[in-house]
Amino acid sequence: MRTVMAFFVAVLFGVLGIAQQPKAETAKREAPAGSMQISQYMRESGLNYLEVLDKAFDQASEDHIAYMKALAKRDGSYSLMDMPTGGSLTDNLYGKELTRLEEHIEINIKSEPDKNFLKFLQDTKSITGIAYNEVLRAEPTYKSLRPNPTIAKLYPVCVGQAHTIIKSGIFGYGSCAPSDFDAALKVDDPKAAAEIDKLREDAKKKQ
């Protein structure tokens, strides 16, 4: 349970990176499609990234099943230290591979469209983590996890948009823009959304 909670906090902070961008930066990243051509390298890397992301989700689900089975079979001779983790997109083998891919991509890209797409993929990974937590919340053991059903619905939308970018070679947010995340957050967590708005206002005053 502790592993899942820690992962959720990390995921939420990761996605907040979308929402905390100044409006000027958001507008820059939403430039006309004609000026947002991504490289062939980034198209191939993005496709590989999405494949590994799918595997990370599946592996987390398998790890969680193993965890729940271990809980059900636990007796006095079964140490808690021997139990598998509850499942996490970032802690399993494929989750770590995603981090490695991000590092390799980062040192091999220079154009703004490529950098924007890498950030888009990272944000999609974070939203996938929130969607995974929503799956866990279906079980009584994880009911205490913060509900984010509206944000979780962005998961297939963002993955679909990533595939569209890869096929077309043109970067664009589609229906997975920062404004879409903002709207979803206001539904799921109005207090957090208000705090982010305050951070934006403070950032403007400092400019």
Q: Is the pLDDT of residue 161 over 60?
A: yes
**Does residue 155 belong to any structural domain of this protein?**
yes
Distance from C-alpha of 78 to C-alpha of 176, rounded to nearest angstrom: 45
pTM of the model: 0.78
Q: In total, how many domains does the chain have?
A: 1
pLDDT digits (tens, 9 = 90+) for 31-90: 444 469 999 999 999 999 999 999 999 999 888 888 777 777 765 444 555 555 556 788
Rounded mean pLDDT of 182-207?
90
Q: What is the pLDDT of residue 105?
A: 98
Contact indicator for 126, 9 with CB cutoff of 8 Å: no
Q: What is the pLDDT of residue 62?
A: 87
Distance from C-alpha of 176 to C-alpha of 119, rounded to nearest angstrom: 12
Q: What is the pLDDT of residue 111?
A: 95
Q: What is the pLDDT of residue 114?
A: 97
Q: What is the pLDDT of residue 79?
A: 52
Q: How would residue 8 be classed by pLDDT, with cut points 50, 70 and 90?
A: very low
Percent pLDDT > 90 in the chain is 55
Q: Is the pLDDT of residue 14 over 60?
A: no
Phi, psi values for residue 170, rounded to 5°: -115, 125
- Higher-confidence position of 29 and 136: 136
**Does residue 104 belong to any structural domain of this protein?**
yes
Mean per-residue pLDDT of the chain: 81
Helices then strands, each counted (H, E), the chain: 9, 0
- Higher-confidence position of 198 and 24: 198
Rounded mean pLDDT of 189-201?
90
Q: How would residue 118 be classed by pLDDT, with cut points 50, 70 and 90?
A: very high
Distance from C-alpha of 128 to C-alpha of 15, rounded to nearest angstrom: 10
Distance from C-alpha of 40 to C-alpha of 114, rounded to nearest angstrom: 10
**Encoded tokens for 43:** 């198209």
**Encoded tokens for 28:** 């820059």
**Does residue 82 belong to any structural domain of this protein?**
no
Phi, psi values for residue 37, rounded to 5°: -70, 130
Q: Is the pLDDT of residue 12 over 80?
A: no
Closest CA to 2 of 78, 75, 80, 86: 86
**Does residue 19 belong to any structural domain of this protein?**
no
Q: Is the pLDDT of residue 191 over 60?
A: yes
Domain that holds residue 178: 2-14+38-69+95-206
Angle, in degrees to the nearest 10, between helices 40-73 and 154-168: 150
Q: What is the pLDDT of residue 9?
A: 41
